[in-house]
Amino acid sequence: MDLSRRGRRSRLLSLRTCGTLLVAAGLLVSGCSAGSSTTEASLASVSRATPAELAPYYGQQLKWHECGVPGFECSTMKAPLDYAEPAAGDIKLAVARKQATKKSGRLGSLLVNPGGPGGSAIGYLQSYAGLGYPSEVRAHYDMVAVDPRGVARSEPVTCLDGARMDLFTQTDVTPDDRRETEALRSAYETFATGCQERSAGILPHVSTVEAARDMDVLRAALGDDKLSYVGASYGTFLGATYAELYPERVGRLVLDGAMDPSLSARRMNEEQTAGFETAFRSFAKDCVARGADCPLGGKSPADAGRRLKAFLDELDGKPLPTSGSGGRRLGEALATTGVIAAMYDEAGWPQLRDALTSAMKNRDGSGLLVLSDGYYERDSNGKYANLMFANAAVNCLDLPPAFTSPDDVKKALPAFEKASPVFGEGLAWTSLNCTYWPVKATGTAHRIEAKGAGPIVVAGTTRDPATPYRWAKALSSQLSSGHLLTYEGDGHTAYGRGSECVDATINAYLLKGTVPKDGKRCS
């Protein structure tokens, strides 16, 4: 079962660096949340001055120490749990950095975030950004990351133990009758109840607005007058929210694989469903061209899609055995998750072809289960990372739910199935996950203009599955100082994915402040 409704970059990261499959797909929700007590009307005044009650946070000195990976330092930052009542208590946020490799010409700190919500920025920094970003960028910037509140090392949200999460991920998300519909509804309620029981204190305080305000506290603690930032996927929404709150403190912002914050949850979920269909057709076209090596067969992407859908439907009643998985079987839900996971990067297509071959021809579901487990960040011991829990907590706080009942989903099925004949039904039903959330959403969808901010570069990939290219065009047009950079290609996000044109353009912006020409396109 797929909880994630925002694009994440973990899959892309893993394929290029550590080799561990940290895949993530799922439906996206966007929109600027207002936090537990802050209203949208008050956001414009947040950046005007630092309130006296926040001065201790803005003036704190970070104490750095060696940690984990050689060359990296870690620290802990304090922020108010509730910005509306700073005296009510603190939240501790984990921070890491790798100092600039050159002593002269330092440009300050470059904060990075890989997306999610729920992706560990520190994990991303230590396994990729701090080592794999272009050397000239790392030479002039201190590379910095903070795990957002509720994520990984920063007082993580927890919901279910491994055994209960196993059951949850196997729940049928294409219900055929009232009994299966009730089972799906019950699964979402169980998940939400688990989050409330284990994380009640933090659930109302993990909004994107609060995370953006934490970033400004970190900016001050680092001694930077302005924030320079590279955010991918959901990280673009976090960065755009920061620009909305603190336009005069915007340094050089790169928003890669952008989201459109003006869309409602349902509209965004439906458009992302179409994005995964676009990505699948690109995969299927490549697969069909390989002839006998393509497990989906057929003469066209449409043929391949019909065969995949028939295979997934078959798994609904006849799950496949897997090896080394503690007896778990591969049903429709886990198989669909595995396929969607591989859509994030074309480098994963060979692995998907092998997994489908094993499943469809050899009746062994192990390969697709590996992809699905990577998506959910489930380790070989059956333990799940916090990513999926944090993902739901942030998403469900940032926007009202896409649907209010199973009947609403049924009415929307034709639109979702039109958007994707292969994935539409399942992705429509997974859009029900926030309906039963224990904390009322505090944000609403709206345009982000960030008037007064310096130039912001927005990058979009034409066949991006998780953040459709149209969203990058939308965000760049909303931002008063947005500049669109287009990457004509497959996969999720653009920077650091092999395009010399994209990398050179973004590097020039980060290092010299040179913004791309209007309409610049790369391949």
Q: What CATH number is associated with residue 246? A: 3.40.50.1820
Assess if residue 498 is contained within a domain: yes
Assess if residue 1 is contained within a domain: no
Are residues 412 and 353 part of one domain? Answer: yes
Nearest 5°: the CA angle 51, 78, 71 is 130
- End-to-end alpha-carbon separation of the chain, Å? 34
Assess if residue 129 is contained within a domain: yes
Assess if residue 503 is contained within a domain: yes
Domain boundary among 397, 418, 436: 436
Query: What's the pLDDT band for 103 if we cut at 50, 70, 90?
Result: confident
Partners of residue 143 on adjacent β-strands: 98, 110
Are residues 322 and 176 part of one domain? Answer: yes
Q: Are 263 and 276 in contact (CB under 8 A)?
A: no
> pLDDT (tens digit, 9 = 90+) per residue, 291-308?
999 999 999 999 999 999
Rounded mean pLDDT of 425-441? 97
Are residues 337 and 256 part of one domain? Answer: no
Assess if residue 241 is contained within a domain: yes
Are residues 423 and 481 part of one domain? Answer: no
> pLDDT (tens digit, 9 = 90+) per residue, 13-28?
433 322 222 223 233 3
Residue 48: is its pLDDT beyond 80? no
Exposure string for 247-268, b = 16+ CB within 10 A, e = fewer:
bebbbbbbbbbbbbbbbbbbeb
Q: In whole angstroms, how far apart are CA 523 and each of 13, 83, 259, 346, 486? A: 20, 43, 21, 14, 8
Are residues 460 and 432 part of one domain? Answer: no
The residue written with tokens 């076209």 in the block is 285
pLDDT value of residue 1: 57
> pLDDT (tens digit, 9 = 90+) per residue, 309-353?
999 999 999 999 999 778 899 999 999 999 999 999 999 999 999
Q: Are 237 and 215 in contact (CB under 8 A)?
A: no
Are residues 249 and 142 part of one domain? Answer: yes
Query: What's the pLDDT band for 89 if we cut at 50, 70, 90?
Result: very high
Residue 436: is its pLDDT beyond 60? yes
Are residues 383 and 452 part of one domain? Answer: no
> pLDDT (tens digit, 9 = 90+) per residue, 481-506?
999 999 999 999 999 999 999 999 99
Residue 214: is its pLDDT beyond 50? yes
Q: Where are the alpha helices (DSSP H) in 289-365?
A: 301-317, 332-341, 349-361
Residues with catalytic function: 233, 464, 492
pLDDT value of residue 186: 98
Domain boundary among 436, 469, 488: 436
pLDDT value of residue 28: 35
Candidates 431, 492, 34; CA nearest to 258 is: 492
Q: Where are the beta strands (DSSP E) in 200-290?
A: 227-232, 250-256
Mean pLDDT over the full length of the chain: 91
Assess if residue 2 is contained within a domain: no
Residue 213: is its pLDDT beyond 50? yes
Q: Are 428 and 406 in contact (CB under 8 A)?
A: no
Rounded mean pLDDT of 88-94? 96
pLDDT value of residue 119: 96
Are residues 196 and 332 part of one domain? Answer: yes
Rounded mean pLDDT of 244-254? 98
Are residues 43 and 112 part of one domain? Answer: yes
Rounded mean pLDDT of 410-432? 98
Residue 75: is its pLDDT beyond 60? yes
3-state secondary structure of 283: helix
51 by Cβ neighbours in 10 Å (0-12 / 13-18 / 19+) ranks as: exposed
How many folded domains does the chain comprise? 2
Domain boundary among 400, 418, 436: 436
The boundaries of the domain holding residue 388 are 162-201+265-436
Are residues 50 and 99 part of one domain? Answer: yes
Are residues 368 and 225 part of one domain? Answer: no
Are residues 142 and 255 part of one domain? Answer: yes
Q: What 3 state SS string does 167-219 have?
A: HHHCCCCCCCCHHHHHHHHHHHHHHHHHHHHHHCCCHHHCCHHHHHHHHHHHH
The one-letter amino acid code at 43 reads: L
Tokens of 58: 């803005």
pLDDT value of residue 20: 25
| Pairwise CA distance, residues 44 & 450, whole Å | 9
Assess if residue 5 is contained within a domain: no
Assess if residue 3 is contained within a domain: no
> pLDDT (tens digit, 9 = 90+) per residue, 155-194?
999 999 999 999 999 999 999 999 999 999 999 999 999 9
**pLDDT top residue among 387 and 7:** 387
Partners of residue 91 on adjacent β-strands: 79
